[in-house]
Amino acid sequence: MLRKTVLIVDDAPENLTVLSELLAPLYRVLVANSGRKALSIAGTRPRPDLVLLDVMMPDMDGYQVFEQLRGQPQTADIPVIFVTAMDSAEAELQGLDAGAVDYITKPITAPILLARVRNQLELKQSRDWLRIRNNRLESEIARRMSENEAIQDVSIRALARLAEIRDTETGNHILRTQCYVRTLAEKLTANPRFSALLTDDYIKLLAQSAPLHDIGKVGIPDAILRKPGPLDAQEWRIMKTHAKLGSDAIELAEREGAGPVAFLNLAKEIAHWHHEKWDGSGYPDGLSGDAIPLSARIMALADVFDALISRRVYKEALALTEVRRIIEEGKGRHFDPDLVEAFFGDFDAFRAIADTYRDDANP
């Protein structure tokens, strides 16, 4: 095992000699006769495991040296024992309050010095071992969390693709709306109305949940879901049930699992209420204004924008000028006005997403 390294700092040569002779049989000893030299040695690898630091030195006293050691990341964790002729209780308290691990007064009693040095080195070894172990545990936790998130994402995509197989929309619709939702939520963080809710974690969960917005379409008959022309009144009533079908399916999966899952709660909101309208004319519950969860309001704008710019079996894609007009007319009627303002505040960002994940591009 490598011997521990102790740095002795004292401007008196005789003190350096006495302490070196005492510690050298047990430890690797480095010496410095000034504060500046001590800082230079401490900042060079291999760094000392412990510093014995005199307080009363010219140019730079022990407290100044200690402050600079603590101020540098590479030396901040090196334990320091003040070794000084200042034997008053006030001086000892000042040294300990500064952050020193111990305070030894001169003249030195060899057995006491050796015991205290040994104790502090053992404590440092334990702290280092705990830090290494904690770092390993944190890395393992991060790896497992990343793995769990990847499994969740794959599961969400698989469920969303299941709905897509039966619908006329493409997989790129899922990618586009997910990106619209994330981008719009990020834009809204500048609005005091939403900033408290739209934390980084919330936005992450919101984007993660977005692909499940139309999962309820799995329960709609093909004759209605794939009908190339307009739906009649009865067909439209059936089509509108997909919102509740989706949220019910997610809630059932959640109940059968280990307990509530944050992203599934948002997924339920989105699936159930993303067809509600700001003026209360939407479905399935006729909610209006802020009674509609923010997650569903964001999804509503993202979903409508993508539907307007995309070709469907029952319609052609609309020109962007026409899309802008329709969304602008929906401000305060279909959509939360502040969401529309944020959307048009950086319309090019949403156009870029649409172009990146266009239906003839590889997702």
16-56 per-position pLDDT tens digit? 999 999 999 999 999 999 999 999 999 998 899 999 999 99
| Torsion angle defined by CA atoms of residues 243, 249, 252 and 253, in that order, rounded to the nearest 10 degrees | -130
SS3 80: strand
Residue 326: which residues within 8 A CB-CB, separation 6 or more? Answer: 308, 318
Architecture of domain 5-136: 3-Layer(aba) Sandwich (3.40)
Cβ neighbors of 342 (< 8 A, separation 6 or more) are 184, 187, 188, 190, 191
- Domain ranges for the chain: 5-136, 167-356
pLDDT given for residue 363 in this prediction: 46
pLDDT at 362: 46
334 DSSP 8-state letter: T
Q: In sequence order, what are the residues at sequence separation of 6 or more whose Cβ sits closer than 8 angstroms to the Cβ of residue 102?
A: 81, 82, 116, 120
Q: Which residues of the chain have pLDDT under 70?
A: 1, 150-171, 257-260, 313-314, 360-363
Rounded CA gap, 339 and 137, in Å? 42
CATH topology classification for 167-356: Hypothetical protein af1432 (1.10.3210)
Grouping H, G, I as helix, E, B as strand and the rest as coil, residue 6 is: strand
Q: Which stretches of 167-293 are DSSP H helices?
A: 171-188, 200-209, 222-225, 233-240, 242-256, 262-273
DSSP state of 261: -
pLDDT at position 156: 67
Q: Is the omega angle on the peptide bond into residue 337 within 30 degrees of 0, that is, cis?
A: no
3-class state of residue 241 by DSSP: coil
Q: Is the dihedral of CA 167, 171, 175, 176 positive or negative?
A: negative
